[in-house]
């Protein structure tokens, strides 16, 4: 069952010939003994055959132009980020170290606060106890 759980997700890639030779042999050996995976491979083959028999359609000119623009942008080193903004792929490597340093600083600050509380928390409680004076009586007792 463990082998099946690992092999089943690979069946589409196996069918398309995208797996390494070693993985292909493992999948083939599993498929020989597993009816479920054998049936899935048969279904993938059937779907492929049906799609191949469909008449070819030409892509709309607008789609071809959009694809060319995106490919040209990628070739120039530009990748789309948020809402169409562009960021050069050369500046992206700077972002990861900057975020890592920021996360490290936050982690150090939180750790420092926890350490200070751990070591000086009891001392602060003792100082507060000493500095806290008893409250004066609100009413003067009669003589």
Give the whole-angstrom CA distance, residue 45 versus residue 39.
Answer: 10
The reply to whether 45 and 9 lie within a common domain is yes
The reply to whether 4 and 43 lie within a common domain is yes
List helix spans (H) across 16-60: 21-33, 35-53
Query: Between 35-53 and 21-33, two packed helices, what is the crossing angle to 10 degrees?
Result: 110
| 6 lies in some domain | yes
The reply to whether 81 and 34 lie within a common domain is no
Flag whether pLDDT at 79 surpasses 90.
no
The reply to whether 3 and 38 lie within a common domain is yes
The reply to whether 52 and 1 lie within a common domain is yes
| 134 lies in some domain | no
Q: What is the pLDDT of residue 60?
A: 82
The reply to whether 63 and 46 lie within a common domain is no
Could you tell me which of 12, 99, 5 has the C-alpha nearest to residue 47? 12
The reply to whether 72 and 95 lie within a common domain is no
Flag whether pLDDT at 99 surpasses 70.
yes
Least confident range from 19-23, 51-55, 77-81: namely: 77-81
The reply to whether 73 and 102 lie within a common domain is no
* Cα separation values, 115 from 67, 109, 118, 125, 133, Å: 55, 10, 5, 16, 29
| Parent domain of 68 | 58-89
| 137 lies in some domain | no
The reply to whether 65 and 80 lie within a common domain is yes
The reply to whether 27 and 62 lie within a common domain is no
Is pTM beyond 0.85? Reply is no
Question: How much is the mean pLDDT over the chain?
Answer: 77
| 84 lies in some domain | yes
The reply to whether 38 and 70 lie within a common domain is no
| 133 lies in some domain | no
| 69 lies in some domain | yes
């Amino acid at each position: 069952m463990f082998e099946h759980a690992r092999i089943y997700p690979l069946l589409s890639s196996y069918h398309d010939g995208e797996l390494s030779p070693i993985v292909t042999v493992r999948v083939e050996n599993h498929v020989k003994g597993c009816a479920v995976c054998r049936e899935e491979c048969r279904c993938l083959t059937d779907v492929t055959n049906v799609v191949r028999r469909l008449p070819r359609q030409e892509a709309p000119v607008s789609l071809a132009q959009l694809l060319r623009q995106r490919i040209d942008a990628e070739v120039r080193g530009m990748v789309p980020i948020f809402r169409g903004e562009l960021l050069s792929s050369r500046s992206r490597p700077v972002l990861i170290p900057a975020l890592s340093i920021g996360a490290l600083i936050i982690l150090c600050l939180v750790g420092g606060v926890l350490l200070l509380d751990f070591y000086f928390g009891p001392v602060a409680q003792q100082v507060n106890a000493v500095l806290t004076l008893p409250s004066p009586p609100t009413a003067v007792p009669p003589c």
